[in-house]
């Protein structure tokens, strides 16, 4: 069992992104090819398989959280490309491993404060024991009491992969 809860793009945001993305562009679904294979889907946190109906959309991962908390992330309200299924896929089913945790891959674990501002981060080269590596990175992030959530991103493209929030008292 994972120590931290992994959060994909939530269902309400996916519904909006499947119409108009966070850059104001209409969703343009297409059938995935071999060129897309293996790229991460942020709706269900698994790799793309050729033949699936997908879309590449612009997503602002901090925006909806900030709005729900009355935070103003200012310039940190960035957006970038993510793949999603063009239709409801049933979402993410938590498993025994963190998503997209290929040993040797480089990730950033970016920390955010209650104000929605970047509160630090670290580079993570995923070790052979990926779960222990991610747990240690999140332990480090949440050791700072001002950190409320962390985003995991790919280093190569800067793409958002998934979110982890500070565990509640009941989960600790």
Q: What pLDDT score does 169 carry?
A: 47
Residue 95 in any domain: the answer is no
- Three state DSSP letters for 23-74: CCCECCCEECCCCCCCCEECCCCEECCCCCEEEEEEECCCHHHHHHHCCCCH
Tokens of 88: 């409801």
* Domain extent at residue 27: 9-85
Looking at the structure of the chain, the number of domains it has is: 1
Q: What pLDDT score does 171 carry?
A: 45
Local structure of residue 37 (DSSP, 8 states): T
Is the pLDDT higher at 165 or at 170? 165
Average pLDDT of the segment spanning 67-85: 94
Starting at the edge strand found earlier in the chain, the sheet holding 106-113 runs: 6-7, 160-165, 147-154, 106-113, 118-125
Residue 135 in any domain: the answer is no
Residue 169 in any domain: the answer is no
Average pLDDT of the segment spanning 107-123: 96
Residue 55 in any domain: the answer is yes
Q: What pLDDT score does 170 carry?
A: 45
Alpha carbons within 13 A on the beta-carbon side of 88: 5
Average pLDDT of the segment spanning 34-53: 97
Mean pLDDT taken over the chain: 94
Residue 78 in any domain: the answer is yes
140 pLDDT band (50/70/90 cuts)?
A: very high
Residue 162 in any domain: the answer is no
């Amino acid at each position: 069992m994972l120590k931290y809860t992994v959060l994909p793009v939530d269902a309400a945001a996916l519904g909006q992104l499947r119409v108009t993305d966070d850059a104001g562009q209409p969703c343009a679904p297409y059938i995935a090819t071999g060129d897309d294979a293996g790229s991460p889907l942020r709706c269900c946190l698994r790799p793309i398989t050729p033949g699936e109906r997908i879309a590449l959309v612009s997503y602002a991962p901090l925006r909806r959280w900030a709005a729900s908390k009355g935070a103003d992330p200012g310039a940190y309200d960035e957006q970038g490309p993510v793949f999603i299924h063009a239709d409801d896929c049933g979402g993410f089913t938590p498993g025994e491993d963190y998503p997209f945790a290929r040993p040797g891959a480089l990730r950033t674990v970016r920390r955010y404060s209650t104000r929605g501002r970047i509160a630090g981060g670290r580079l993570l080269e995923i070790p052979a024991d990926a779960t222990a590596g991610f747990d240690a990175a999140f332990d480090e992030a949440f050791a700072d009491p001002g950190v409320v959530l962390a985003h995991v991103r790919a280093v190569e493209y800067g793409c958002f992969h998934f979110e982890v929030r500070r565990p509640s008292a009941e989960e600790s």
